[in-house]
Amino acid sequence: MLEEVLQHLNNWFLVPEGIHAGEFTVQDGSITLPFLQTGQYFRVMGSVFNDGLHQYPAQDMTDETFDGVLWALAVPKAVISLADEIAVWDEKNGAQGPYTSESFGGYSYSKATNASGVAVGWQDVFKIRLNAWRRIGGII
């Protein structure tokens, strides 16, 4: 969920001088990155198998050698905690069907909708709290 939240915010919390381009090798499920600290998040782009958000040292990657880009990130603890809270909410409420209301056999229900008439999602519920970290424009 954290990756989805960062994508939604258009904010990856890139550290200064945090873009590293070159050839990288994933061996035995992990990658050695001397510019990262234990527990630090990083984003992989340009890989065939491992694109996405990882936490260092990642032990679940697929072995490969690739030319790509790695972003060293400094995601605030508050954002990580909020993403965890969103994941719990989404697990409970996130299964969005095609209907906002339904009635059958004497039973009916209606889901809350946003301004577009679409069932409310985590983006709507947590919008005010997410706005503090939202970035407008750009890719980082």
Residues 11-53 have pLDDT tens digits of 999 999 999 999 999 999 999 999 999 999 999 999 999 999 9
Stated length of the chain: 140
DSSP 132: G
CA distance 38 to 47: 22
Q: Is the pLDDT of residue 75 over 60?
A: yes
Measured between alpha carbons, how far is 105 from 22 in angstroms, rounded to an integer?
Answer: 61
DSSP state at residue 20:
E
Give this prediction's pTM.
0.83
Q: What are phi and psi of 64, to 5 degrees?
A: -175, 165
- Contact by Cβ (8 Å): 45, 15: no
